[in-house]
Chains A and B, each alone.
Chain A
Amino acid sequence: MTVPKQFHEIRDPIHVFIRLDNHERNVLDSRPFQRLRHVHQLALTYLVYPGATHKRFEHSLGVMELATRVFDVITNPNNISGGVLDQLGVLRDNQELLYWRRVLRMAALCHDIGHLPFSHASEDLLPDGWDHEKITQEIITSDEMKQIWENMTPPLRVEDIIKLAVGPKKAKNFHFSDWEAILAEIIVGDAFGVDRMDYLLRDSHHLGVAYGKFDHYRLIDTLRILPTQTSDEKEAGELTLGVDEGGIQSSEALMVARYFMYSQVYFHPIRRIYDIHLRDFLKDWLGNGVFSTDIDQFLSVTDNEITVALRTAALDPTKPGHPHAQRIVGRKHFKLLYKRNPNDVAINPEAGQAVFNALSQQFGADFFRRDRYSQKGGAPDFPVLMWDGRIVSSLAVSEVLNNVPIVSVDYVFADREVYEKAEKWLLQNRETIITPQKEEAING
Chain B
Amino acid sequence: MDRLKRAALITRLLQKLREKGSWCGETHVQKAAFFLQNLMRVPLGFDFILYKHGPFSFDLRDELTSMRADGLVRLVPQWPYGPSILTTDLAKNIQDIYSKTLKQYESRITFVAEKLGGKGVAELERLATALYVTQEQDEISSSHERVKTLTTIKPHISTEQAAIAIEEIDRIIEESQRILAGSD
Contact = CB atoms under 8 A, between A and B. Distances in A.
B100 to A, nearest CB: 5
B77 A439 contact: no
Interface in A380-414: 381, 390-393, 395-396, 402, 406-408
Q: Which of B7, B25, B90, B123 has the most chain A CB atoms inside 10 A of its CB? A: B25
A235 B69 contact: no
Interface string B11-26: 0000000000001011
B27 interface: yes
Interface of B: 3-5, 7, 23, 25-27, 47, 49-53, 58, 61-62, 64-66, 68-72, 75, 77-83, 90, 94, 96-101, 120-123, 153
Contacts of A396: 77-83
Contacts of A408: 66, 69-70
29 contacts: A169-B58, A178-B52, A228-B82, A229-B81, A230-B25, A230-B121, A232-B121, A234-B120, A237-B121, A240-B52, A342-B71, A345-B71, A349-B7, A349-B94, A374-B66, A377-B61, A377-B62, A378-B61, A379-B75, A390-B80, A393-B79, A393-B83, A395-B77, A396-B80, A402-B75, A402-B77, A436-B97, A438-B100, A439-B5
Contacts of B72: 349
A440 B100 contact: yes
A178 B78 CA distance: 26
Contacts of A181: 51-52
Given A232-B121, A406-B69, A393 B80 contact: yes
Contact of A378 (B64, B78, B101): B64
Nearest to B75: A379
Contacts of A237: 121
Given A237-B121, A378-B61, A402-B75, A230 B82 contact: yes
B77 to A, nearest CB: 5
Given A231-B120, A396-B80, A406-B69, 5 more contacts: A176-B51, A181-B51, A235-B122, A436-B4, A439-B97
A176 B154 CA distance: 11
Nearest to A348: B4
A11 interface: no
A349 B70 contact: yes
Interface residues of A, number: 45
Nearest to A381: B82
A232 B122 contact: yes
Given A178-B52, A349-B70, A393-B77, A376 B62 contact: yes
B97 A350 contact: no
Given A168-B51, A349-B72, A439-B100, A231 B23 contact: yes
Contact of A376 (B5, B65, B90): B65
Contacts of B78: 231, 396
A340 to B, nearest CB: 9
Nearest to B47: A172
Interface in A348-377: 349-350, 374-377
Q: Which of B23, B52, B61, B79 has the most chain A CB atoms inside 10 A of its CB? A: B52
A234 B65 contact: no
Contact of B69 (A178, A238, A374): A374
Contacts of A172: 47, 49
A229 to B, nearest CB: 5
Contacts of A1: none
B145 to A, nearest CB: 18
Contacts of A436: 4, 97
Interface in A277-328: none
A418 to B, nearest CB: 28
B81 A231 contact: yes
Nearest to B7: A349
Contacts of B70: 345, 349, 408
Contact of B65 (A169, A230, A379, A437): A379
A346 interface: yes
A283 to B, nearest CB: 25
Q: Which 3 A-B pairs have the closest CB atoms?
A: A392-B80, A232-B120, A408-B69
Contacts of A168: 49, 51, 58
A344 B135 CA distance: 43
B80 A378 contact: no
A379 B71 CA distance: 14
A376 B51 CA distance: 18
A408 to B, nearest CB: 4
A176 B47 CA distance: 17
A362 to B, nearest CB: 23
Contacts of A176: 51-52
A421 interface: no
B123 to A, nearest CB: 8
